[in-house]
Amino acid sequence: MIKAVDVEEVVLGSILCDSTVKIIVTPEAFTGIRKDVFNIIEELKKENTPIDLITVGERVQNKTYLINLVNKIGTTANIEYHQRILIQYQVQRQIEKDCEYMLINNGDIFDSIDRLKNNISYIESLIR
């Protein structure tokens, strides 16, 4: 699986450090525990709860992990660039999944083509 753990952590740390950061990624941009943390951030956002180390920390068992995320951040100035990197990795993972699906399900090429068309539309929506 294609992933960029360091970039995922920088994005999460930036969001925790600066509540004014514009979030342009979706949960699918993250992997592992980082996806869980991002989902918590999204929940807090929907609840109109401030997003910071304290509020996210109330819902995470491993608070040390959150502190380490924040400690990695020198500046949030490049957050949009970092989020775009995550989107690129997300797109690559989706393409990888589609190719794997086509290889495994080679019996029904029309189903594979339909799936690929749908996912291309989804990928285009991420890029814009």
Q: What is the H or E stretch that residue 30 is in?
A: none
- pTM for the model: 0.81
Alpha helices in the chain (DSSP H): 5-17, 32-46, 53-57, 63-71, 79-104, 109-127
Q: How many domains does the chain have?
A: 1
Q: Is the pLDDT of residue 3 over 90?
A: no
- Domain range holding 95? 5-127
pLDDT attached to residue 70: 93
pLDDT tens per residue across span 44-93: 999 999 999 999 999 998 899 999 999 989 889 999 999 999 988 888 88
Q: How confident is the model at residue 107 (pLDDT cuts 50, 70, 90)?
A: low
Domain holding 100: CATH number? 1.10.860.10
Q: Of the given ranges (14-28, 31-45, 95-109), which has the lowest mean pLDDT? A: 95-109
pLDDT attached to residue 35: 95
Mean pLDDT of the chain: 87
